[in-house]
Every structure is written in structure tokens, then in C-alpha cells.
DNA sequence: CTTGATGCAAATGGTTTGCATGTTT
DNA sequence: AAACATGCAAACCATTTGCATCAAG
């Protein structure tokens, strides 16, 4: 997966390939698994393109999301984060220490089947976040439970 | 489940039973399944207690959440909503028409088992929202999108 | 009467928007 | 050239906070 691939996809969806969009895609590609907020993206982009404004980053993220190139992830109270949509995944977040685990959509298949069977609902979970306790914290805390 | 029950629970957790808290609990009880935003709550409360300030509602919601009496639900871009924690449930939200289905935590058990087995992660999903298409929209799939 | 909750106003922080200008096609 | 994207500053909206006052235990 290269920036040119992404730019091509962009064009295929009828969107223009501007400097800002290339820059956003480049940074997201560079970030790998890491999810970035609009602000973090803007900061990184500024290193190479000081003129690209935060508001443009927001608009760009919006276009790219609409185009289906990137996906949005929402963690608790934190600002929204973005990542390439190349591979869907979900998160398990430890409520105590904040550790996050990524897991495959396959894990949710039983749920999807159940919702389809019971309600005719066709689940298409884009980015789920499941709370809980990671192995370490759950070992350390025994039965007592935090908020 | 009555307001007095709730107030008792509140006291049990060492929190004070103030007018604001009673009012918030009363409205949430009255709302039933409907999830309310802080603003909606404040508006309703104003009918009986015009002096209760929105910021107090926020603080109250915070206390009640900490006390475990109410739970938070986050829908897409909308402001956070609250509901009584009497019974945990999750939501399937139609990405097209916005229809929501509530489903039981039992549906998620296979996922919880899987996360525990694979990662030692003990899931405690407080309020999940799964996107997808409701039966109706998925039947007439391919149309324009409402809000 | 002590601790904690409230009202108010003002601040915060993430995100959006109007408009004139610049860039992509 | 036409359509669209951008920079900037200002608006927006949900939520939070400092502080003086008030109510619950």
C-alpha cells in the first residue's frame, strides 16, 4: 500500500488529489496502526507543509472518510482519531490502565449473526471499542472492580 | 423501581441526596428507555425546578455515573446521553435511518469469551453501539440516506 | 457546623463555517 | 474557465471550572 495507490483510489471516487489530501494520507500511512487526531495530523503535516491549516485537515479528513479511504475511531472522552481504512479492526480498551488490544472483525461474527437472525439487522461495525480489564489489571485487581 | 429506591442507592454509595440529584433521577426514571442528553434533562427539570443550572446537571450526572446509578451512551456525533443503569443493554443503530435496536449483553458473550481466551481481556462492555442497516433499510438498500 | 453541592459567569477545546483566494481538472 | 479546495478568523457547541454562596449530613 503506497500513497499513489491511495491517491488513485481517491480519484476513483471522484475526489481531487490535493496537497493537503496527499499529506494527510502520507501521515496516516506513516502512522501505521497508530490512530491520530486531527490536531496530531496537523502538527505532523506542518513539518513539511507549514501552510496547511488545521481546518483544512478537518475538511480533508471528512472527504477521505466519505470516500471510504479512512475510518474514524472514538475513544472514550478523547478527541476523534483517524486511521487508514485498509483493514477493519476493533479495540478492547482497559478501563484501568488504558492499554488497547486490536482484534479482528471475525470475533464479532457471532454477534452479527445473532442480530441478523433476531432483528434482521445487518451489522457493519466500523470501529468498536469494548471496555474491560486487560490481563494484567484484572490479575492485579482480583475481584474488586473499578468504576 | 422508584425514586426512593434510587435515592437510597445513592446514599448507600455515600453521596448526598440533593434536589438536583433527585430531579435528574426522576427525569431519567420518567424517560424510561429514552436516553437523554444533559441539555434535554436540564430543560425537563426546569419545568419543575427552574433554578437548577445546566452545569449542575452535568456535575450531577457525573456523580451519578460514578455512583453507578446511571450509564452513559455515546451515539455517533451526537452529544452524550444518559440513562438509568438498572439494566445494561447495547444498541444497534441503523446507519441510514437512525433506527435503534436495544439488545441484551448476552449477545456479546461469545465475544467476551473469545477476548478472554485470546488475550486474557475481561470485557465489561458498558454500552456498545454497533452500526449497520436495519431490516427495512437493508431491504431497500441502495437509496439515499436520511439523517 | 462542616463538608460537599450549587448558581453563575467565564473559560475551554474540539470542530465547523463564511468568505475571499488559490489550485486542480 | 469552472468547480472545487484552502487559509484565516470567527462562530459554535458541549462540557468544565473558579469562586462565592447555600444546603445536607
Q: Check: CB of residue A82 under 8 Å from CB of residue A61.
A: yes
Q: Do A68 and A129 share a domain, yes or no?
A: no
Q: Do B8 and B80 share a domain, yes or no?
A: yes
CATH of the domain at B122: 3.30.1490.190
Q: Do B118 and B56 share a domain, yes or no?
A: no
Task: Name the residue among B68, B74, B125 with its Cβ closest to that of A130.
Answer: B125
Cβ of A122 within 8 Å of Cβ of B114? The answer is no
Strand extents, DSSP E, B26-118? 36-37, 70-73, 81-84, 90-94, 100-103
Q: Which nucleotides of C are covered by protein (CB under 7 A)?
A: 4-10, 13-18, 23-25
What pLDDT is attached to residue A142?
A: 58
Of A48, A83, A130, which is closest to residue B128 (Cα–Cα)?
Answer: A130
Q: How many domains does chain B have?
A: 2
Q: How far is B77 from chain A (nearest CA, A)?
A: 10
What pLDDT is attached to residue A128?
A: 87
CATH of the domain at B42: 1.10.10.10
CB-side neighbour CA atoms (13 Å) of A125: 25
Q: Do A99 and A79 share a domain, yes or no?
A: no
What pLDDT is attached to residue B141?
A: 67
| Residue B43 belongs to domain spanning | 3-84
Q: Do A105 and A36 share a domain, yes or no?
A: no
* Separation of alpha carbons A96 and B100, rounded Å: 30
**Residue at a domain's end among B84, B107, B125:** B84
pLDDT digits (tens, 9 = 90+) for B31-82: 998 999 999 999 999 999 999 999 999 999 999 999 999 999 988 889 999 9
* Separation of alpha carbons A136 and A98, rounded Å: 11
Q: Do B80 and B99 share a domain, yes or no?
A: no
**Closest nucleotide to B74 by C1' from CA:** D14
Mean pLDDT value of segment B107-130: 93
Nearest CA in chain A to B62: A147
Q: Do B71 and B131 share a domain, yes or no?
A: no
Virtual CA dihedral for A56, A58, A64, A67, nearest 10 degrees? -110
Q: Do B98 and B58 share a domain, yes or no?
A: no
Q: Between these two residues, B94 and A18, which has the higher pLDDT value? A: A18
Q: Do A79 and A128 share a domain, yes or no?
A: no
Which letter does DSSP use for residue B140 in this model?
T
Q: Check: CB of residue A88 under 8 Å from CB of residue A124.
A: no
Find chain B residues with C-beta within 8 A of A128's C-beta.
Answer: 128, 130
* Separation of alpha carbons B93 and B91, rounded Å: 6
Q: How far is the CA of B106 from the C1' of D12 (A)?
A: 40
Q: Do B7 and B66 share a domain, yes or no?
A: yes
pLDDT digits (tens, 9 = 90+) for B30-42: 999 899 999 999 9
What is the full per-residue pLDDT of chain A (147 aa) written as tens digits?
899 999 999 999 999 999 999 999 999 999 998 999 999 999 999 999 999 999 999 999 999 999 999 999 988 889 999 999 987 889 998 888 888 899 999 999 999 999 999 999 999 887 888 989 999 998 887 554 433
Amino acid at each position: 500500500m503506497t500513497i499513489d495507490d491511495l491517491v488513485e483510489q481517491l480519484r476513483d471516487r471522484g475526489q481531487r488529489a490535493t496537497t493537503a489530501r496527499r499529506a494527510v494520507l502520507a501521515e496516516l500511512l506513516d502512522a501505521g496502526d497508530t490512530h491520530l487526531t486531527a490536531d496530531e495530523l496537523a502538527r505532523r503535516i506542518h513539518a513539511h507543509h507549514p501552510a496547511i491549516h488545521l481546518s483544512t485537515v478537518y475538511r480533508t479528513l471528512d472527504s477521505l472518510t466519505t470516500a471510504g479511504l479512512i475510518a474514524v475511531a472514538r475513544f472514550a472522552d478523547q478527541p476523534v482519531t483517524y486511521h487508514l481504512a485498509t483493514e477493519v479492526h476493533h479495540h478492547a480498551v482497559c478501563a484501568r490502565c488504558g492499554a488497547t488490544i486490536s482484534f479482528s472483525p471475525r470475533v464479532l461474527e457471532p454477534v452479527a449473526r445473532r442480530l441478523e437472525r433476531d432483528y434482521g439487522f445487518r451489522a457493519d461495525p466500523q470501529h468498536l471499542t469494548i471496555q474491560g480489564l486487560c490481563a494484567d489489571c484484572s490479575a492485579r485487581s482480583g475481584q474488586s472492580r473499578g468504576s
